[in-house]
Homo-oligomer: A and B are copies of this chain.
Amino acid sequence: MPVFLDSTAATFEAEFAALLTAKREDSPDVDAVVSEIIADVRALGDAAVIELTARFDRLALSPETLAFSPEEIERECTKVPAAERDALERAAERIRAYHVRQMPQDVHWTDPEGAMLGWRWTPVSAAGLYVPGGLASYPSSVLMNAIPAHVAGVERLVICAPTPDGKVNPLVLLAARLSGVDTIYRIGGAQAIAAMAYGTQTIRPVDKITGPGNAYVAAAKRRVFGKVGIDMIAGPSEILVIADAENDPDWIALDLLSQAEHDESAQSILVTDDAAFGRAVAAAVDKRLETLERRAIAGASWRDFGAIITVRDLDEAAELSNRVAPEHLELCVADADALAAKITHAGAIFLGAWTPEAIGDYVGGPNHVLPTARSARFSSGLSVLDFMKRTTIARMTPAALKAIGAAAETLAISESLEAHGLSVRARLDRLNGDQP
């Protein structure tokens, strides 16, 4: 049973606060192990990666077979049935069309003092994408990570995707090919992150690493952060649906379950202004849970972290949603636009009942790599900007330096940074004719 909350109850604030702070994930402390693995890979390179892959993935590799060969990729790709190939291509096309619009503009202008100011965007030279093996090996995630990088203009794009016991997901390889990936290494875990960050004899280091992974991968990303850029450290997924009584309870139940089926730690929350509708959705969830393939996972998530919250009105719904800052937010209400205007923190908004969250996971266009665990308070989903960086630009003229140089000199002196001040003063003196 999920929790049922009523915003008019005296106990509501405490219950809602408990929901917000519930610890959904028991991250094992793997930091010591990961630290050793990274040190091994830095010291021994390929040999460490190969040894660790034999140990953890039960797969014997050599430097020559760390990466899939073009022939292997081609062979695996031909195994993908036409319907899935078409769907992947459709998804890739739509994701690309969305992300192309994110390309930032370079800007420069001349200010009243005559100084030219502005900035320029350039892509990261090389990016590495981690793709988990086994259950969570999602071709859609390959598209969502690799296409923004490719659109950004990243020159060299590599994937590390472990293949435990040699099991390959052909859809992952096809998605990589559709996304412009150059090289796919069949390695995983902290060793893959270390190899991409520091390089080995065979694997050239990259500048940015993105993509989801287990606790070892997350700890390794945290450790290499600074040496390379990383995306967020993803936590368990969540959805919040704000729905009025004019919805089909079964649709909303399926939307809640499509989050719950990801992971026992996932969280699905319904906020409604109609208590009876809330109960109808709960019943619909229970009915679907009888037959759902992943009912064990989805049922555990719904039981442990699910919630149905009845509110006075939609304004209150928006307010509570902003406190949750959900990764995914569905607004299934008559005037979704008006409600959306009140949302200040959310990873992605899905407007109206015809926009199930699952559309966004695959073919909507926006990225499905989104801030989890309330981090939409301060971070955004993956985008083209994650694979670019901005260089600021300034050019003073003698007149501009004359206008603002003295202020710089004053501040430099106040900070006891004499050379800073002198570097400005030497030029000002020249302008004033005090020096040749």
Contact = CB atoms under 8 A, between A and B. Distances in A.
Contact of A348 (B125, B139, B392): B392
A84 B392 contact: no
Interface string A76-103: 0000000110111011001001100110
A84 B229 contact: no
A365 B258 contact: no
Contacts of A117: 98, 364-366
A53 to B, nearest CB: 24
A359 B405 contact: yes
Interface string A280-300: 000000001000111000100
Interface string A114-148: 01110110101100000000010011100000000
Contacts of A410: 83-84, 86-87
Nearest to A230: B378
Nearest to A386: B378
Interface stretch (A12-20, A184-192, A337-345): A337-345
Given A292-B419, A362-B407, A392 B401 contact: no
B226 A356 contact: no
A222 interface: yes
A6 interface: no
A232 to B, nearest CB: 8
B233 A124 contact: no
30 contacts: A86-B407, A86-B410, A90-B404, A90-B407, A94-B404, A97-B111, A117-B364, A139-B411, A222-B225, A226-B233, A228-B378, A229-B375, A248-B426, A248-B430, A261-B420, A288-B422, A294-B416, A346-B391, A347-B391, A347-B392, A353-B427, A355-B401, A356-B423, A356-B427, A360-B394, A361-B412, A371-B389, A377-B389, A380-B391, A383-B390
